[in-house]
Amino acid sequence: MEAFGGFITNSLALLSDAGHMLSDSIALGVALLAFTFSEKKVNTGKTYGYRRFEILAAALNGITLIVVSLYIFFEAINRFISPPEVATLGMLIISVIGLLVNILVAWVMMRKSDTENNLNMRGAYLHVISDMLGSIGAIAAALLMMFFNWSWADPLASVIVAALVLRSGYYVTKSALNVLMEGTPARTS
């Protein structure tokens, strides 16, 4: 819905959020698959079991966040140089719907999973939170364009969200690589 709305309204904030939502859908699927695989029993071929699959999924989630954020930066630069016409009312409606969906998903994840101790679930949860921020940015940009005619608000909202997404992606990837490289844990209990 966001991708369709982004194309119709010509909003980078919606298109970037839609792309991020697509990567999130894939990431959440990978996280679920990783969680399922990690529960498999240890066997002679996998003496540690399949626990590392969760870490690989977390690394994939983090790398995906980084790639998406870099693409958003690139597109935003083009929009600052040559801002297109954006249908702000449609952008606002779609952004509000996206925010409500993200709030629901985040609430379900907080109730059903251990995002504090499970790196894979934390990566998936950060995807959802960054989507929520993307929706908030798109709402703010739509309102600024509607009331003040600030055409630069759309790419600016995208850059702010991309910076937050990049930060999340960096830390999830760094944590996952630390585990894969058998580094010292960040905290001990």
Residue 188 lies in a domain: no
What pLDDT does residue 144 have? 95
pLDDT at 27 over 80: no
119-148 and 88-112 helices, crossing angle to 10°: 160
Residue 187 lies in a domain: no
61/66 Cα distance (integer angstroms): 9
Q: Return the percentage of the chain with pLDDT > 70, whole number.
A: 80
Let me know: does 166 contact 65? Beta carbons within 8 Å.
yes
Which residues lie below 8 Å from residue 124, measured CB to CB, with a gap of 6+? 24, 27, 28, 31, 61, 109
Structural domain count of the chain: 1
Q: Is 10 helix (H, G, I), strand (E, B) or coil?
A: coil
161/70 Cα distance (integer angstroms): 11
Residue 114 lies in a domain: yes
Let me know: does 14 contact 135? Beta carbons within 8 Å.
no
Residue 186 lies in a domain: no
pLDDT in tens, 64-100: 889 888 988 998 999 899 888 888 999 999 899 989 9
pLDDT in tens, 140-183: 999 999 999 998 998 998 888 788 778 878 988 888 888 888 77
Report the candidate in 45, 189, 76 with the shortest Cα–Cα distance to residue 141.
Answer: 76
CATH code at position 129: 1.20.1510.10
Mean pLDDT over 39-68 rounds to 76
Residue 185 lies in a domain: no
What pLDDT does residue 100 have? 93
Please indicate whether residue 20 or residue 77 has the higher confidence score (pLDDT). 77
pLDDT in tens, 108-141: 887 766 656 666 677 777 778 878 888 898 899 9
Please indicate whether residue 103 or residue 164 has the higher confidence score (pLDDT). 103
What pLDDT does residue 86 have? 87
What pLDDT does residue 189 have? 45
Let me know: does 93 contact 14? Beta carbons within 8 Å.
no
Report the candidate in 64, 69, 137 with the shortest Cα–Cα distance to residue 98.
Answer: 137
Token pair 């529960």 is at which residue?
A: 39
- Whether the model clears a pTM of 0.95, i.e. scores above it, the answer is no
Range of the domain at 30: 2-180
